[in-house]
Amino acid sequence: MGLIGVNGSGKSSLLKAVLGIIPPSTGEVEIPESTLGVFDLNLFFHPDFSGFENLFMMNACHGKEDHELEAKMADIEEFSQIREYMHRPVREYSAGMRMRLGVAYVLLQEFDFLAIDEVLAVGDLAFQRKCVAYLRDMLKEGKSLLVASHNLDEIATLCDEILLLDRGIVLMRGPVEEVLEAYMRRSEEMGQTARALINHHGFTPAEPLSEQIRIQSVRFLNSEGMEVTHFHTGESISIEVTVVVQTGTVHNPLFRVEFFRNDNLLISATNNYRHEATFDLHCGEATVCIEIDSLNMLTGLYYVAVSIWPDEYTSLVTGEAYDVQDRRYEISVHSHRSQGAGICSLPGKVRLKMEEEP
């Protein structure tokens, strides 16, 4: 059985309750006499001891006799693939070598039930596959496994059944394919709506170029002209930027709008110069409308940055802006399954090509 869920969902706590490390709040737990539990392999290693000496210390911590380890030592050395380093201090090992030694010890023990928490994601890909293949052979021999992991490929390969947890609650229990699909869908929804910590990587001057023109407000209008922050993929959107010119006339300012996904990936940017729309703004209030015919971004939370620049050259080279509101606004986009997956929608169709077609 596999245990999956986001960090803090209760996977490790459940394993600890099963193994008797913490008492269950309700009910009882019965496990086979020959049970082995592993949470953190680093707990058993002392950096000044050799790999050989650390194995005996690990063996003692698991309550086993020295002769039991000696009988398996050759197999552990071969499985871990670090035979030539066994008598060198562990401080000289790489992190992968240290973990391979610990995993080799665990997998080559005698047990009926193994409970492990994220300890197989060690070493290179070849060693991980070697561990999974070995465990699969043990499961075929009748051994039992309870594993908590974020490695869904590992879970799918080893387990017949999965528990999906969230804050100590069992959200779902069932066959691997069904639960993994539900978890992936849930994780995708959480990732799409998570609010990121904004990092300002672009040109955001500490002081504006001048106080001559300032952004007063920004409004987002849907296809019906209503001010909203929720849109649908393919819908038109109008962004109204109201500014105030303090004195004189601002000649040919550049208005830029940038869309960032909630992980701060720049999705798209546009400005009035690209649409060959130039104009002068005179003293007083004015509203510039940026109209997007089809918002082709897919489901997610997006940040919008709005800025005003003297011209395109200044915005690209010197970073001297009149006013910058960097990712200050949020909009959410919802899409239909038929509009695809990823970042943007690519409208089109699918058909079967007829044999007579060239």
pLDDT tens-digit readout, 287-340: 999 999 999 999 888 999 999 999 887 666 777 889 999 999 999 998 887 888
Closest CA to 164 of 156, 151, 173, 177: 173
In percent, how much of the chain has pLDDT > 70? 93
Pick left, alpha or beta for residue 107 (phi over 0 → left; psi -120 to 50 → alpha; otherwise beta).
alpha
| 199-255 residue pLDDT tens | 554 444 445 677 889 999 999 999 999 999 999 999 999 999 999 999 999 999 999
More reliable by pLDDT, 3 or 262: 3
Residue 320 has a pLDDT of 82
3-state secondary structure of 351: coil
Torsion, CA 114, CA 118, CA 119, CA 124, rounded to 10: 130
Query: How many Cβ atoms are within 10 Å of 125's Cβ, its own excluded?
Result: 7
Nearest to 180 by CA among 154, 205, 200: 154
From the list 288, 277, 122, 302, the residue with the least C-alpha distance to 216 is 288
H or E element at residue 116: strand 113-117
How would you class 286 by CB atoms within 10 Å of its CB: exposed for 0-12, middle for 13-18, buried for 19 or more?
Answer: middle
> Quick one: average pLDDT of 75-84?
90
- 65 HSE (CA, 13 A, CB side): 3
- Which residue in this structure is represented by tokens 């459940």? 14
Q: Which residues pair with 260 in a beta bridge?
A: 266, 303
**Residue 338 is encoded by which pair of tokens?**
């038929």
| Separation of alpha carbons 291 and 302, rounded Å | 17
Q: What is the DSSP letter of 355?
A: T
Ramachandran assignment for 284, one of left (phi > 0), alpha (psi -120 to 50 degrees), beta (any other): left
Tell me the per-residue pLDDT of 325-343, one tens digit each, with 9 for 90 and over: 999 999 999 888 788 888 8
Tokens of 62: 């698991």
Measured CA to CA, the distance from residue 272 to residue 291 in angstroms comes to: 10
Mean pLDDT is highest, among 68-72, 90-94, 286-290, for: 286-290
Q: Locate the domains of the chain by residue range.
A: 2-193, 213-339
Q: E strand or H helix at 314, and its extent?
A: none
DSSP designation for 181: H
Among residues 243, 208, 213, which one has the least CA distance to residue 320? Answer: 208
On the question of pLDDT at 192 being above 70, the answer is no
Q: How confident is the model at residue 62 (pLDDT cuts 50, 70, 90)?
A: confident
Triad 134, 136, 140: Cα angle to 5°:
120
Residue with tokens 């039991």: 68
Could you give the count of Cα atoms lying within 13 Å of 265 in the half-sphere of its Cβ?
10
Give CA–CA dist 330/81, Å, rounded.
52
pLDDT of residue 155: 87
Topology given in CATH for the domain delimited by 2-193:
Rossmann fold (3.40.50)
- Whether 171 shows a pLDDT value over 80: the answer reads yes
Options 2.60.40.10, 1.10.520.10, 2.60.40.1120, 2.70.50.60; CATH for 213-339 is 2.70.50.60
Give the integer Cα–Cα distance in Å for 311 and 283. 19
